[in-house]
Amino acid sequence: MASNCVRVERDGELALIVAHNPPVNTITAEVRAGLADALREVRADRSLRAVVLMCEGSTFFSGADIGEFSGPPREVEYRVLFNSLEGLEIPVIAAMHGTVMGGGLEIALASHYRIAAPATRFALPEVTLGIIPGAGGTQRLPRLIGAEKALELILSAKPVAAQQALDMGFVDALIAEDVRTGALAFARDLLGAGRGVRRTGEMSVDMATASDAMFQRMTELARKSYPNRGAGLVAVDAVRKSAHSRLAEGLEYETARVNECKTTAESRGAVHVFFAERDSRRVPGLPEDLRAAPVREAGVIGAGTMGGGIAICFANAGIPVKLVDASDASLERGVAGIEKVYQSMVDRGRLSPADKAQRIGLIQTSLDYQSLKNADVVVEAVFEDLDLKQRIFRKLDAVAKPGAVLATNTSTLDIALIADATSRPGDVIGMHFFSPANVMPLLEVVRTDRTSAATIKTVMELAKPLRKTPVLARVCYGFIGNRMMEGYAREAERMVLEGATPRQVDTALEAWGMAMGILAVFDMAGIDVGVNVHKANATRYPPDPTYYQADFALSDAGRLGQKNGRGYYRYEPGSRSRFDDPEAIQVLRRRATELQVPQRSHSVTEIQERCLFPLLNEAFHVLGEGVATRAADIDVVWTSGYGFPRYRGGPVFYAETIGLGTLLDGMRRYAEIFGPMHWTPAPLLVELVDRGISVAEWEGGQRSKRASA
């Protein structure tokens, strides 16, 4: 394949192989073909004395092409290419900048020398995708820095800075000037010092770093860091192999093991989420030529918990924002909160004091709605009260410029009713941020039947500078995420009334993979917050006298969660560690007796199934009713907003992993025990099982129906 993205330049007796594959120099098939051609050219020229490998644009090779993941294995192709680079008879210097990850770092390891700009960052993130570095990483890195440090880097999967890489020993020097000048100077110095090729593959692993005890420690680390997963353990095996084998044999082993990894549910789940997140921004059915309106100025109404966080998101994106509240006191409180967030970033070295000042400077406060007249987008985040929100949207309608997006951050209210308060319902949309809004990546974008395509497009695109993963939903109670939370939380609360302890429930959920048990989440959010939502929505709850009664019992007993040190658990002042609390258990037991809840014992499996099956079942309601556009969007919502493990692929992916028939049987099994009120399978789940088709096949059918309609 001819390549337009790799060229060879000459500088006297030095060659530069320069890649240019925007935006991030991914090692695509075309880049590999170009590199192979370039190596042939360099090898044929006997007058050359050294080669510099570098990239133009924002970064050195950022990694392999993950888009090829689902196709045939490419490891052998990578291996041949990287071996051929390493096999050159003249020194090869990788000159790096930007973010060098995975395959990008592996090509550098196959080079003879490595130099980097000081701001360069390096990572081998493969284990988070359920695989191991498969282009020589597990074999070459230990040869350069020892088995222990190599495994630390591979298992942490986190980026390290250039100085750390230098200290660890896989970077030889930092470049002060621009990469090209620095690399050429380094090459000349190298030749001047009479140094030649230095092949990583010909080195052996320092056995002092590769003791059995060290591998045992790393095995434990892999188990602890990646529970329910195998890739970390495979990485330990592969690095162990590097210590005892020649490169060629180690590479064969690595290839076999990485390909084995790719077939696991853990890898397929993580890769599914990766693509689902990439695609969530694209909304099927919007006109091709529709362009997002530029957002040059924003407004936020309500300077509370959410409004402050949302204002920070705009300021971080460089978008000036007007923050409006009803009183000076509220504004002052809001600004103090914003200041605190930025100061903690400065304290942790994440932000310079100058950048903090610049960002805070972008946020201007006001009591006057007129200050919103130039905003391209206004996000309302006042108390959760329909009357209040309608009043605010009426005022906003009077001042906002034509075409401005009028968004609400409501979690539970009917956005169509909020839109009705304006003369421009097409411009009204939900932007449902999650708390803390400046941290959580998920943004549910909620459209009503009247929201215009242009409004949807603008908000989906705005998510990018705001650094959010947007998922489009239709209006319904709880949208996608909170709606699916209902059954999950209901069962957790019901089980503590049936005699399970909060710790038993949370431990079972965390062992399955949830980031935090749901009862601990409630303690963190505030039991009273939950109770207020339950009260406001009591009329739409099913006729079950035990519904959310664990929350009510705790709140009646003055247990509000972490905020007063007592909830489902007990907390020491200033600490988030949870302790079992016999008093909480007594409160729950008393309420269970009053409600005559039959007591039972709960196996770990029962706890997991009773929480997860309703959650997965609800996903099929959400999909079947068209609240979510795509099954993959549901998976994004729960993995990015609710701590659902990425390696399980999200609720719908996981339902298919265990089998839709298993889920349906499970729902029916629990219906026999507890009755049909909460355990009726979603019609779509029944349909898919009856027809014996997958979710993807059903979605394909829906698309063809729409196309022919």
Q: Using CA atoms, how far apart are residues 187 and 195, in angstroms rounded to an integer?
A: 10
What's the order of all strands across the beta sheet hosting 6-11? 6-11, 14-19, 50-55, 92-96, 113-116, 173-174
Report the residue from 26, 111, 365, 410 that binds ligand NAD according to the rule CB under 6 A.
410
561 binds ligand NAD (CB under 6 A): no
Residue 63 and residue 102 in contact, taking contact as beta carbons nearer than 8 Å: yes
Catalytic residue among 112, 432, 621, 678: 432
301 binds ligand NAD (CB under 6 A): yes
159 binds ligand NAD (CB under 6 A): no
Q: How far is the CB of 369 from ligand NAD (least distance, A)?
A: 9
608 binds ligand NAD (CB under 6 A): no
Hey, what are 228's tokens? 């329910």
**In the range 493-552, which residues lie near ligand NAD by CB under 6 A?**
none
Looking at the Cβ atoms of 146 and 337, the one nearer to ligand NAD is 337
708 binds ligand NAD (CB under 6 A): no
Looking at the Cβ atoms of 228 and 327, the one nearer to ligand NAD is 327
CA separation, residue 129 to residues 300, 559, 648 (Å): 37, 40, 11
Report the residue from 91, 98, 130, 307 that binds ligand NAD according to the rule CB under 6 A.
307
Residues near 316 by beta carbon (within 8 Å), at least 6 away in sequence: 359, 438, 466, 467
Report the residue from 304, 426, 441, 643 that binds ligand NAD according to the rule CB under 6 A.
304
The CA dihedral of 689, 691, 697, 700, to the nearest 10 degrees, is -120
Tokens 């499996």 belong to residue: 605
Q: How far is the CB of 244 from ligand NAD (least distance, A)?
A: 53
Residue 338 and residue 357 in contact, taking contact as beta carbons nearer than 8 Å: no
Looking at the Cβ atoms of 232 and 334, the one nearer to ligand NAD is 334
387 binds ligand NAD (CB under 6 A): no
Q: Using CA atoms, how far apart are residues 538 and 553, in angstroms rounded to an integer?
A: 16
Q: How far is the CB of 392 from ligand NAD (least distance, A)?
A: 6
Hey, what are 633's tokens? 């969007």
640 binds ligand NAD (CB under 6 A): no
Nearest Cα residue to 308 out of 204, 379, 202: 379
Report the residue from 19, 162, 303, 400 that binds ligand NAD according to the rule CB under 6 A.
303
**What letter would DSSP give residue 630?**
-
Q: How far is the CB of 295 from ligand NAD (least distance, A)?
A: 20
Q: How far is the CB of 378 from ligand NAD (least distance, A)?
A: 12
Q: ∠534-535-537 over CA atoms, to 5°?
A: 65
Report the residue from 148, 172, 277, 325 that binds ligand NAD according to the rule CB under 6 A.
325
Report the residue from 326, 476, 524, 658 that binds ligand NAD according to the rule CB under 6 A.
326
Looking at the DSSP assignment, which residues form a beta bridge with residue 354? Answer: none
Q: Using CA atoms, how far apart are residues 39 and 431, in angstroms rounded to an integer?
A: 51
Report the residue from 330, 365, 458, 608 that binds ligand NAD according to the rule CB under 6 A.
330
Tokens 């918990």 belong to residue: 305
**What letter would DSSP give residue 495?**
H
382 binds ligand NAD (CB under 6 A): yes
Considering CB under 6 A, how many residues would be counted as binding ligand NAD? 23
Residue 199 and residue 86 in contact, taking contact as beta carbons nearer than 8 Å: yes
Looking at the Cβ atoms of 111 and 365, the one nearer to ligand NAD is 365
Q: Using CA atoms, how far apart are residues 349 and 200, in angstroms rounded to an integer?
A: 35
Hey, what are 572's tokens? 């020491």
Instruction: Using the rule CB under 6 A, give the single segment among 166-174, 409-417, 419-427, 575-583 that binds ligand NAD.
Output: 409-417
Looking at the Cβ atoms of 227 and 304, the one nearer to ligand NAD is 304
Q: How far is the CB of 304 from ligand NAD (least distance, A)?
A: 2
- Residues 315-344: b if buried by 16+ CB within 10 A, e if exposed: bbbebbbbbbbeeeebbeebbebbeebbee
Sign of CA dihedral 656, 660, 661, 664: positive
Per-residue binder mask for ligand NAD (CB under 6 A), 332-371, x = binder = ----------------------------------------
Nearest Cα residue to 216 out of 169, 158, 147: 147
Looking at the Cβ atoms of 15 and 484, the one nearer to ligand NAD is 484
292 binds ligand NAD (CB under 6 A): no
Q: Classify residue 69 as exposed, middle or buried by CB count within 10 Å of its CB (0-12, 13-18, 19+).
A: middle
**In the range 475-504, which residues lie near ligand NAD by CB under 6 A?**
none
Q: Using CA atoms, how far apart are residues 610 and 1, in angstroms rounded to an integer?
A: 54
Is 20 in the active site? no
Report the residue from 91, 130, 302, 487 that binds ligand NAD according to the rule CB under 6 A.
302
Instruction: Using the rule CB under 6 A, give the single segment among 32-40, 136-144, 314-322, 403-411 that binds ligand NAD.
Output: 403-411
Looking at the Cβ atoms of 224 and 467, the one nearer to ligand NAD is 467
Q: How far is the CB of 383 from ligand NAD (least distance, A)?
A: 5
Extract long-range pairs of 327-335: CB within 8 Å, 24+ residues apart. Answer: 327/367, 328/367, 330/303, 330/304, 331/303, 331/365, 331/367, 333/303, 334/303, 334/304, 334/307, 334/308, 334/365, 335/303, 335/363, 335/365
Looking at the Cβ atoms of 382 and 553, the one nearer to ligand NAD is 382
Nearest Cα residue to 389 out of 474, 485, 294, 307: 307
Q: How far is the CB of 293 from ligand NAD (least distance, A)?
A: 24
327: left (phi over 0), alpha (psi -120 to 50) or beta: beta
615 binds ligand NAD (CB under 6 A): no
Hey, what are 547's tokens? 């519904």
145 binds ligand NAD (CB under 6 A): no
Report the residue from 411, 448, 455, 501 that binds ligand NAD according to the rule CB under 6 A.
411
Backbone φ, ψ for residue 470 (5° rounding) = -90, 140
Looking at the Cβ atoms of 382 and 664, the one nearer to ligand NAD is 382
Hey, what are 181's tokens? 């000048």
Per-residue binder mask for ligand NAD (CB under 6 A), 37-66, x = binder = ------------------------------
Looking at the Cβ atoms of 159 and 526, the one nearer to ligand NAD is 526
562 binds ligand NAD (CB under 6 A): no
Looking at the Cβ atoms of 407 and 514, the one nearer to ligand NAD is 407
Q: How far is the CB of 633 from ligand NAD (least distance, A)?
A: 18
466 binds ligand NAD (CB under 6 A): no
Per-residue binder mask for ligand NAD (CB under 6 A), 413-452, x = binder = --------------------xxx-----------------
656 binds ligand NAD (CB under 6 A): no
The 3-state secondary structure of 436-463 reads CCCCCCEEEEEECCCCCHHHHHHHHHHC
Residue 422 and residue 393 in contact, taking contact as beta carbons nearer than 8 Å: yes
Q: How far is the CB of 507 from ligand NAD (least distance, A)?
A: 25
Closest residue to ligand NAD, based on beta-carbon distance: 304
Instruction: Using the rule CB under 6 A, give the single segment among 98-106, 197-205, 243-251, 297-305 that binds ligand NAD.
Output: 297-305
Residues near 336 by beta carbon (within 8 Å), at least 6 away in sequence: none
User: Which residues of this protein are in contact with ligand NAD, per CB under 6 A?
Assistant: 301-307, 324-326, 330, 381-384, 388, 392, 409-411, 433-435
Active site residues: 432
